[in-house]
Protein backbone atom coordinates (compact mmCIF):
# COMPACT_ATOMS: atom_id res chain seq x y z
CA UNK A 1 0.00 0.00 0.00
CA UNK A 2 1.19 3.53 -0.74
CA UNK A 3 2.77 5.46 2.12
CA UNK A 4 0.90 8.65 1.31
CA UNK A 5 -2.51 7.86 -0.14
CA UNK A 6 -3.59 10.23 -2.89
CA UNK A 7 -6.83 10.27 -4.87
CA UNK A 8 -5.37 8.66 -7.99
CA UNK A 9 -7.92 5.92 -8.68
CA UNK A 10 -10.56 7.06 -11.14
CA UNK A 11 -13.72 5.22 -12.14
CA UNK A 12 -15.25 6.51 -15.35
CA UNK A 13 -18.69 5.36 -16.48
CA UNK A 14 -20.50 6.50 -19.62
CA UNK A 15 -24.00 7.72 -18.74
CA UNK A 16 -26.73 5.45 -20.13
CA UNK A 17 -24.27 4.54 -22.86
CA UNK A 18 -26.50 2.83 -25.45
CA UNK A 19 -29.29 5.34 -24.98
CA UNK A 20 -26.85 8.26 -25.24
CA UNK A 21 -25.59 6.82 -28.52
CA UNK A 22 -29.13 6.48 -29.86
CA UNK A 23 -29.88 10.08 -28.87
CA UNK A 24 -26.90 11.17 -30.94
CA UNK A 25 -28.60 9.97 -34.10
CA UNK A 26 -32.18 10.53 -32.88
CA UNK A 27 -31.95 13.98 -31.23
CA UNK A 28 -35.76 14.23 -31.48
CA UNK A 29 -35.96 11.66 -28.64
CA UNK A 30 -34.13 13.83 -26.13
CA UNK A 31 -36.13 14.32 -22.96
CA UNK A 32 -38.28 11.24 -23.60
CA UNK A 33 -38.15 7.92 -21.78
CA UNK A 34 -35.99 5.82 -24.12
CA UNK A 35 -35.25 2.16 -23.63
CA UNK A 36 -32.64 0.16 -25.56
CA UNK A 37 -33.53 -3.49 -25.51
CA UNK A 38 -36.22 -5.75 -26.80
CA UNK A 39 -39.82 -4.76 -26.19
CA UNK A 40 -40.80 -8.31 -27.20
CA UNK A 41 -41.98 -11.05 -24.92
CA UNK A 42 -38.45 -12.10 -24.09
CA UNK A 43 -36.62 -8.82 -24.48
CA UNK A 44 -34.57 -7.42 -21.66
CA UNK A 45 -33.88 -3.75 -20.93
CA UNK A 46 -30.27 -3.20 -21.83
CA UNK A 47 -30.07 0.52 -21.00
CA UNK A 48 -32.71 3.14 -20.27
CA UNK A 49 -32.64 6.93 -20.22
CA UNK A 50 -32.82 8.81 -16.94
CA UNK A 51 -36.35 9.85 -17.91
CA UNK A 52 -37.36 6.20 -18.07
CA UNK A 53 -35.66 5.53 -14.74
CA UNK A 54 -38.03 7.94 -13.03
CA UNK A 55 -40.79 5.48 -13.94
CA UNK A 56 -38.90 2.72 -12.16
CA UNK A 57 -37.45 1.12 -15.28
CA UNK A 58 -34.04 -0.46 -14.68
CA UNK A 59 -31.56 -2.28 -16.88
CA UNK A 60 -31.85 -6.03 -16.73
CA UNK A 61 -35.63 -5.78 -16.32
CA UNK A 62 -37.87 -7.79 -18.70
CA UNK A 63 -39.08 -5.64 -21.58
CA UNK A 64 -42.69 -6.49 -20.82
CA UNK A 65 -42.34 -5.17 -17.26
CA UNK A 66 -40.73 -1.96 -18.54
CA UNK A 67 -43.63 -1.57 -20.94
CA UNK A 68 -46.07 -1.84 -18.01
CA UNK A 69 -44.19 0.72 -15.94
CA UNK A 70 -43.70 3.17 -18.75
CA UNK A 71 -46.09 2.54 -21.66
CA UNK A 72 -45.06 5.74 -23.43
CA UNK A 73 -41.36 4.73 -23.57
CA UNK A 74 -39.63 4.56 -26.92
CA UNK A 75 -38.14 1.10 -27.38
CA UNK A 76 -35.09 0.74 -29.63
CA UNK A 77 -33.29 -2.46 -30.55
CA UNK A 78 -29.61 -2.45 -29.62
CA UNK A 79 -27.19 -1.74 -32.43
CA UNK A 80 -23.78 -2.83 -31.21
CA UNK A 81 -22.15 -2.07 -34.51
CA UNK A 82 -23.00 1.54 -33.92
CA UNK A 83 -21.89 1.58 -30.27
CA UNK A 84 -18.64 -0.38 -30.61
CA UNK A 85 -16.51 2.36 -32.24
CA UNK A 86 -17.58 4.79 -29.48
CA UNK A 87 -16.61 2.25 -26.85
CA UNK A 88 -13.20 1.83 -28.48
CA UNK A 89 -12.73 5.59 -28.65
CA UNK A 90 -13.64 5.87 -24.97
CA UNK A 91 -11.03 3.31 -23.90
CA UNK A 92 -8.47 4.95 -26.17
CA UNK A 93 -9.03 8.29 -24.41
CA UNK A 94 -8.40 6.61 -21.05
CA UNK A 95 -5.16 5.06 -22.26
CA UNK A 96 -3.88 8.53 -23.18
CA UNK A 97 -3.45 9.17 -19.46
CA UNK A 98 -2.04 5.92 -18.18
CA UNK A 99 -1.49 2.37 -19.36
CA UNK A 100 -2.99 1.29 -16.03
CA UNK A 101 -6.54 1.02 -17.33
CA UNK A 102 -8.76 -1.82 -16.15
CA UNK A 103 -11.81 -2.14 -18.39
CA UNK A 104 -14.96 -3.14 -16.55
CA UNK A 105 -17.18 -3.31 -19.60
CA UNK A 106 -17.81 -1.50 -22.86
CA UNK A 107 -18.76 1.67 -21.01
CA UNK A 108 -16.75 1.76 -17.80
CA UNK A 109 -13.20 1.40 -16.57
CA UNK A 110 -10.86 2.03 -13.67
CA UNK A 111 -7.60 3.99 -14.02
CA UNK A 112 -4.81 4.56 -11.60
CA UNK A 113 -2.93 7.76 -12.47
CA UNK A 114 -0.43 7.47 -9.65
CA UNK A 115 2.91 8.86 -10.85
CA UNK A 116 1.33 10.84 -13.67
CA UNK A 117 0.40 13.78 -11.44
CA UNK A 118 3.55 15.83 -12.00
CA UNK A 119 3.21 15.66 -15.78
CA UNK A 120 -0.54 15.54 -16.30
CA UNK A 121 -2.12 16.94 -13.17
CA UNK A 122 -3.74 15.23 -10.19
CA UNK A 123 -6.52 12.65 -10.23
CA UNK A 124 -9.48 15.04 -10.05
CA UNK A 125 -8.02 17.16 -12.83
CA UNK A 126 -7.42 14.12 -15.10
CA UNK A 127 -10.97 12.93 -14.40
CA UNK A 128 -12.42 16.25 -15.50
CA UNK A 129 -10.20 16.20 -18.59
CA UNK A 130 -11.48 12.74 -19.49
CA UNK A 131 -15.10 13.88 -19.04
CA UNK A 132 -14.45 16.90 -21.25
CA UNK A 133 -12.84 14.83 -23.99
CA UNK A 134 -15.62 12.20 -23.96
CA UNK A 135 -18.15 15.00 -24.38
CA UNK A 136 -16.20 16.70 -27.16
CA UNK A 137 -14.87 13.70 -29.01
CA UNK A 138 -17.76 11.25 -28.68
CA UNK A 139 -20.61 13.63 -27.95
CA UNK A 140 -21.97 11.85 -24.88
CA UNK A 141 -21.48 12.37 -21.15
CA UNK A 142 -19.50 10.41 -18.61
CA UNK A 143 -19.52 10.43 -14.83
CA UNK A 144 -16.41 9.93 -12.80
CA UNK A 145 -15.44 9.18 -9.23
CA UNK A 146 -12.00 9.85 -7.81
CA UNK A 147 -10.61 8.44 -4.59
CA UNK A 148 -7.87 6.23 -3.20
CA UNK A 149 -9.44 2.94 -4.25
CA UNK A 150 -11.66 1.29 -6.81
CA UNK A 151 -14.58 0.66 -4.48
CA UNK A 152 -14.97 4.24 -3.31
CA UNK A 153 -14.41 5.63 -6.83
CA UNK A 154 -17.10 3.33 -8.21
CA UNK A 155 -19.62 4.44 -5.60
CA UNK A 156 -18.57 8.06 -6.18
CA UNK A 157 -19.10 7.94 -9.95
CA UNK A 158 -22.53 6.36 -9.40
CA UNK A 159 -23.31 9.18 -6.96
CA UNK A 160 -22.30 11.73 -9.60
CA UNK A 161 -24.58 10.36 -12.32
CA UNK A 162 -25.53 11.71 -14.72
CA UNK A 163 -22.70 13.90 -15.99
CA UNK A 164 -21.05 14.44 -12.62
CA UNK A 165 -17.66 14.26 -10.95
CA UNK A 166 -17.33 13.28 -7.31
CA UNK A 167 -13.99 13.44 -5.54
CA UNK A 168 -13.58 11.70 -2.20
CA UNK A 169 -10.46 12.98 -0.43
CA UNK A 170 -8.13 10.51 1.32
CA UNK A 171 -9.48 9.88 4.80
CA UNK A 172 -12.97 11.02 3.78
CA UNK A 173 -14.14 7.58 2.59
CA UNK A 174 -16.14 6.62 5.69
CA UNK A 175 -17.73 10.04 5.89
CA UNK A 176 -18.70 9.87 2.19
CA UNK A 177 -20.17 6.41 2.62
CA UNK A 178 -22.01 6.97 5.90
CA UNK A 179 -25.31 8.50 4.71
CA UNK A 180 -25.58 6.36 1.57
CA UNK A 181 -28.13 3.53 1.35
CA UNK A 182 -26.70 0.08 1.92
CA UNK A 183 -27.50 -1.02 -1.65
CA UNK A 184 -24.94 1.49 -2.98
CA UNK A 185 -22.18 -0.86 -1.83
CA UNK A 186 -21.38 -2.99 -4.90
CA UNK A 187 -21.18 -6.24 -2.93
CA UNK A 188 -24.58 -5.87 -1.30
CA UNK A 189 -27.27 -7.68 -3.24
CA UNK A 190 -30.98 -7.86 -2.44
CA UNK A 191 -30.48 -10.86 -0.11
CA UNK A 192 -27.77 -9.21 1.96
CA UNK A 193 -29.72 -5.93 2.06
CA UNK A 194 -32.75 -7.81 3.36
CA UNK A 195 -30.71 -9.54 6.03
CA UNK A 196 -29.16 -6.25 7.08
CA UNK A 197 -32.50 -4.46 7.12
CA UNK A 198 -33.72 -7.18 9.47
CA UNK A 199 -31.14 -6.03 12.01
CA UNK A 200 -31.97 -2.37 11.37
CA UNK A 201 -29.14 -1.53 9.00
CA UNK A 202 -30.16 0.61 6.03
CA UNK A 203 -27.21 2.98 5.54
CA UNK A 204 -23.54 2.22 4.98
CA UNK A 205 -22.74 4.28 8.08
CA UNK A 206 -24.88 2.01 10.23
CA UNK A 207 -23.11 -0.99 8.79
CA UNK A 208 -19.71 0.56 9.47
CA UNK A 209 -20.69 1.06 13.10
CA UNK A 210 -21.08 -2.68 13.64
CA UNK A 211 -17.86 -4.35 14.79
CA UNK A 212 -16.30 -6.61 12.18
CA UNK A 213 -16.39 -9.58 14.55
CA UNK A 214 -20.15 -9.29 14.85
CA UNK A 215 -20.63 -9.17 11.09
CA UNK A 216 -18.28 -12.09 10.75
CA UNK A 217 -20.34 -14.06 13.20
CA UNK A 218 -23.49 -13.24 11.26
CA UNK A 219 -22.25 -13.50 7.65
CA UNK A 220 -19.00 -15.48 7.86
CA UNK A 221 -16.06 -14.39 5.73
CA UNK A 222 -18.42 -12.24 3.71
CA UNK A 223 -19.13 -10.31 6.94
CA UNK A 224 -15.51 -9.29 7.48
CA UNK A 225 -15.38 -8.00 3.90
CA UNK A 226 -18.62 -6.11 4.46
CA UNK A 227 -17.19 -4.43 7.54
CA UNK A 228 -14.09 -3.32 5.67
CA UNK A 229 -15.95 -2.08 2.65
CA UNK A 230 -18.48 -0.17 4.71
CA UNK A 231 -15.52 1.87 5.97
CA UNK A 232 -14.29 2.42 2.40
CA UNK A 233 -11.39 0.00 2.76
CA UNK A 234 -10.58 -1.87 -0.43
CA UNK A 235 -7.10 -2.79 -1.51
CA UNK A 236 -7.47 -4.60 -4.86
CA UNK A 237 -5.23 -2.66 -7.23
CA UNK A 238 -6.17 -1.43 -10.68
CA UNK A 239 -4.98 -4.17 -13.02
CA UNK A 240 -4.31 -3.32 -16.62
CA UNK A 241 -5.31 -5.94 -19.15
CA UNK A 242 -7.63 -7.70 -16.75
CA UNK A 243 -10.06 -7.47 -19.60
CA UNK A 244 -8.33 -10.29 -21.46
CA UNK A 245 -10.98 -12.85 -22.11
CA UNK A 246 -10.71 -16.32 -20.66
CA UNK A 247 -13.43 -17.47 -22.97
CA UNK A 248 -15.26 -16.25 -26.01
CA UNK A 249 -18.86 -17.15 -26.65
CA UNK A 250 -21.97 -16.14 -28.50
CA UNK A 251 -25.52 -17.08 -27.74
CA UNK A 252 -28.90 -16.22 -29.08
CA UNK A 253 -32.43 -16.39 -27.74
CA UNK A 254 -34.97 -17.03 -30.45
CA UNK A 255 -38.08 -14.87 -30.54
CA UNK A 256 -40.02 -18.07 -31.32
CA UNK A 257 -38.76 -21.46 -30.20
CA UNK A 258 -36.83 -22.76 -33.18
CA UNK A 259 -37.58 -26.31 -34.38
CA UNK A 260 -35.65 -26.22 -37.66
CA UNK A 261 -32.35 -28.10 -37.77
CA UNK A 262 -30.97 -26.19 -40.72
CA UNK A 263 -31.72 -22.85 -39.10
CA UNK A 264 -30.17 -23.93 -35.83
CA UNK A 265 -27.04 -25.10 -37.62
CA UNK A 266 -26.92 -21.81 -39.48
CA UNK A 267 -26.96 -19.98 -36.17
CA UNK A 268 -24.00 -22.05 -34.97
CA UNK A 269 -22.26 -21.26 -38.25
CA UNK A 270 -22.63 -17.54 -37.59
CA UNK A 271 -21.54 -17.84 -33.99
CA UNK A 272 -18.48 -19.88 -35.02
CA UNK A 273 -17.56 -17.18 -37.51
CA UNK A 274 -17.75 -14.45 -34.92
CA UNK A 275 -15.93 -16.39 -32.23
CA UNK A 276 -13.22 -17.25 -34.73
CA UNK A 277 -12.82 -13.58 -35.58
CA UNK A 278 -12.53 -12.61 -31.95
CA UNK A 279 -10.05 -15.41 -31.27
CA UNK A 280 -7.99 -14.37 -34.27
CA UNK A 281 -7.89 -10.81 -33.03
CA UNK A 282 -6.81 -11.89 -29.56
CA UNK A 283 -4.24 -14.32 -30.98
CA UNK A 284 -5.79 -17.25 -29.16
CA UNK A 285 -7.00 -20.71 -29.91
CA UNK A 286 -9.17 -22.93 -27.77
CA UNK A 287 -8.74 -26.38 -26.34
CA UNK A 288 -12.39 -26.63 -25.34
CA UNK A 289 -15.58 -25.92 -27.25
CA UNK A 290 -18.81 -25.46 -25.31
CA UNK A 291 -22.47 -25.61 -26.20
CA UNK A 292 -25.39 -24.00 -24.42
CA UNK A 293 -28.88 -25.10 -25.23
CA UNK A 294 -32.14 -24.02 -23.69
CA UNK A 295 -35.54 -25.58 -24.19
CA UNK A 296 -38.76 -23.91 -23.10
CA UNK A 297 -39.70 -22.95 -20.54
CA UNK A 298 -36.24 -22.62 -18.98
CA UNK A 299 -34.41 -25.92 -19.22
CA UNK A 300 -30.77 -25.11 -19.82
CA UNK A 301 -28.03 -27.58 -20.56
CA UNK A 302 -24.37 -27.15 -21.37
CA UNK A 303 -21.97 -29.53 -23.04
CA UNK A 304 -18.29 -29.26 -23.74
CA UNK A 305 -15.61 -31.11 -25.65
CA UNK A 306 -11.89 -30.78 -25.25
CA UNK A 307 -9.91 -31.37 -28.39
CA UNK A 308 -6.36 -32.62 -28.76
CA UNK A 309 -5.37 -30.02 -31.31
CA UNK A 310 -6.45 -26.48 -30.32
CA UNK A 311 -9.07 -24.95 -32.59
CA UNK A 312 -9.47 -21.38 -33.72
CA UNK A 313 -10.83 -21.41 -37.24
CA UNK A 314 -14.53 -20.94 -37.92
CA UNK A 315 -14.80 -24.30 -39.65
CA UNK A 316 -13.20 -26.08 -36.70
CA UNK A 317 -15.47 -24.32 -34.19
CA UNK A 318 -18.49 -25.04 -36.33
CA UNK A 319 -17.60 -28.69 -36.62
CA UNK A 320 -17.02 -29.11 -32.89
CA UNK A 321 -20.07 -26.99 -32.04
CA UNK A 322 -22.46 -28.86 -34.33
CA UNK A 323 -21.15 -32.21 -33.10
CA UNK A 324 -22.00 -31.18 -29.54
CA UNK A 325 -25.32 -29.77 -30.67
CA UNK A 326 -26.43 -32.79 -32.71
CA UNK A 327 -25.65 -35.08 -29.79
CA UNK A 328 -27.36 -32.99 -27.14
CA UNK A 329 -30.32 -32.19 -29.36
CA UNK A 330 -30.89 -35.83 -30.30
CA UNK A 331 -30.66 -36.78 -26.63
CA UNK A 332 -33.46 -34.31 -25.94
CA UNK A 333 -35.90 -35.46 -28.56
CA UNK A 334 -35.00 -32.70 -31.05
CA UNK A 335 -37.42 -30.34 -29.34
CA UNK A 336 -37.70 -26.70 -30.42
CA UNK A 337 -34.86 -24.63 -29.03
CA UNK A 338 -35.24 -21.40 -27.12
CA UNK A 339 -31.59 -20.45 -26.79
CA UNK A 340 -28.53 -21.66 -28.63
CA UNK A 341 -24.93 -20.67 -28.13
CA UNK A 342 -21.42 -21.96 -28.55
CA UNK A 343 -18.22 -20.85 -26.92
CA UNK A 344 -14.48 -21.38 -26.88
CA UNK A 345 -12.68 -21.76 -23.56
CA UNK A 346 -9.39 -23.09 -22.27
CA UNK A 347 -7.74 -20.48 -24.44
CA UNK A 348 -4.08 -20.61 -25.21
CA UNK A 349 -1.71 -18.77 -27.46
CA UNK A 350 -2.78 -19.24 -31.01
CA UNK A 351 -0.35 -21.53 -32.61
CA UNK A 352 -0.79 -24.28 -35.08
CA UNK A 353 1.63 -27.02 -35.88
CA UNK A 354 1.95 -27.00 -39.63
CA UNK A 355 2.00 -30.34 -41.38
CA UNK A 356 4.60 -31.40 -43.90
CA UNK A 357 3.66 -29.88 -47.22
CA UNK A 358 0.88 -27.78 -45.70
CA UNK A 359 0.18 -24.22 -46.74
CA UNK A 360 -1.35 -21.46 -44.69
CA UNK A 361 -4.40 -20.69 -46.81
CA UNK A 362 -6.99 -21.34 -44.08
CA UNK A 363 -5.19 -19.17 -41.55
CA UNK A 364 -4.72 -16.36 -44.03
CA UNK A 365 -8.42 -16.40 -44.91
CA UNK A 366 -9.46 -16.34 -41.27
CA UNK A 367 -7.05 -13.47 -40.59
CA UNK A 368 -8.41 -11.47 -43.51
CA UNK A 369 -12.02 -12.04 -42.44
CA UNK A 370 -11.17 -10.89 -38.92
CA UNK A 371 -9.58 -7.74 -40.29
CA UNK A 372 -12.58 -6.86 -42.43
CA UNK A 373 -14.90 -7.40 -39.46
CA UNK A 374 -12.74 -5.37 -37.12
CA UNK A 375 -12.88 -2.50 -39.57
CA UNK A 376 -16.44 -2.65 -40.84
CA UNK A 377 -18.31 -4.48 -38.12
CA UNK A 378 -19.30 -8.06 -37.53
CA UNK A 379 -22.05 -7.96 -40.11
CA UNK A 380 -19.76 -6.80 -42.90
CA UNK A 381 -18.96 -10.32 -43.99
CA UNK A 382 -21.21 -13.33 -43.57
CA UNK A 383 -21.19 -16.92 -44.69
CA UNK A 384 -23.88 -17.69 -47.21
CA UNK A 385 -24.82 -20.58 -44.89
CA UNK A 386 -25.86 -18.09 -42.24
CA UNK A 387 -28.46 -16.53 -44.48
CA UNK A 388 -30.90 -19.32 -43.67
CA UNK A 389 -31.12 -18.05 -40.11
CA UNK A 390 -33.03 -15.07 -38.94
CA UNK A 391 -29.96 -13.28 -37.79
CA UNK A 392 -30.92 -10.78 -35.15
CA UNK A 393 -29.38 -7.36 -35.34
CA UNK A 394 -28.79 -7.69 -31.68
CA UNK A 395 -27.93 -11.22 -30.87
CA UNK A 396 -24.29 -10.80 -30.09
CA UNK A 397 -23.19 -10.43 -26.54
CA UNK A 398 -21.02 -12.99 -24.89
CA UNK A 399 -17.54 -12.27 -23.83
CA UNK A 400 -16.85 -9.18 -25.88
CA UNK A 401 -18.15 -7.69 -22.68
CA UNK A 402 -15.47 -8.58 -20.12
CA UNK A 403 -18.01 -8.49 -17.31
CA UNK A 404 -19.43 -11.70 -18.61
CA UNK A 405 -16.18 -13.56 -18.37
Partner 1 sequence: MKVQVLQENLQRGLSIVGRAVATRSTLPITANVLLQTDKGRLKLAATDLDIAMSAWVGAKVDEEGATTVPSRLISDFVSSLPPATVQMEIPERSRQMKLECARNESSINAMDAEDFPRIPEVRDGVAILLDAKALKRAIDRVEFAAASDDSRPVLTGVHMKSDGTRLTLASADGFRLAVSDISLPTAPGETVEIIVPARALRELGRLIGDGNEPVEMRINGSRTQVLFALTEVELVAQLIQGTFPNYNQLIPTEYNTRCIVDVDEFKREARIAAIFARDGSGIIRLQMAPSQNGMPGELKVSARADEIGDNEGKIDADIAGDASKIAFNARYLQDVLNALTGKVALEMTSPSSQGVFRPISPEGTEPDTYVHVVMPMFVQW
Residue 306 interacting with partner 1 (CB under 8 A) = no
Pick from 56, 348, 365, 376 the residue near partner 1 by CB under 8 A: 348
Among candidates 340, 341, 342, 347, which has minimal Cα distance to 312?
347
For 115, residues 6+ apart whose C-beta sits below 8 A from its C-beta are none
Binder among 60, 221, 357, 384 for partner 1 (CB under 8 A): 357
Cα(397)–Cα(119) distance, integer angstroms: 39
118 or 309: CB nearest partner 1: 309
Smallest gap from Cβ 44 to partner 1, in A, equals 34
Kind plus residue range of the DSSP H or E element containing 338: strand 337-349
Name which of 97, 27, 102, 37 is nearest 63 in CA terms.
37
Q: Which residues of 379-396 are buried (b: 16+ CB within 10 A; e: fewer)?
A: eeebeeebebbeeeebbb
Q: Is 365 in the site for partner 1 (CB under 8 A)?
A: no
Q: Is residue 350 at the binding interface for partner 1, with CB under 8 A as the rule? A: yes
358 lies in the binding site for partner 1 (CB under 8 A): yes
Q: Which of 25, 18, 15, 72 is nearest to 44 (CA)?
A: 18
Does position 354 bind partner 1 by CB under 8 A?
Answer: yes
Closest to 275 in 3D by CA, of 315, 304, 240, 235: 315
Q: Least Å distance between CB 280 and partner 1?
A: 9
By CB under 8 A, residue 315 contacts partner 1: no
Q: Contact between 24 and partner 1 (CB under 8 A)?
A: no
Shortest approach of partner 1 to residue 374 CB, angstroms?
Answer: 15
Output 352 or 390, the one with its CB closest to partner 1.
Answer: 352
- Residue 89 near residue 24 (C-beta atoms within 8 A): no
Known catalytic residue: 349? no
**What is the closest distance, in whole angstroms, from the C-beta atom of residue 347 to partner 1 in the complex?**
9
Judged by the rule CB under 8 A, the positions of this chain that interact with partner 1 are 283, 310, 348-358, 360, 363
Q: So which residues are the catalytic ones?
A: 108
Amino acid sequence: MPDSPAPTVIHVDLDAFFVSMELLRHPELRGLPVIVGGPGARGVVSTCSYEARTFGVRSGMPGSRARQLCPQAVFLPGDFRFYAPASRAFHAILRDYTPLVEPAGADEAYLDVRGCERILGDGPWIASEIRRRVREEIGITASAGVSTNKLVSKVASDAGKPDGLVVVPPGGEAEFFAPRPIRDLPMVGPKTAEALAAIGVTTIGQLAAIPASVLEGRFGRHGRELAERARGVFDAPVLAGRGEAKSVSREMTFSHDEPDRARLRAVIRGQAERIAAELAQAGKSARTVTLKLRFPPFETLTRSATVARPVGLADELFEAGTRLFEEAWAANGRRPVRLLGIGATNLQERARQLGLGETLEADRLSGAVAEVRAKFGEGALRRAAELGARVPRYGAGGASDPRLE
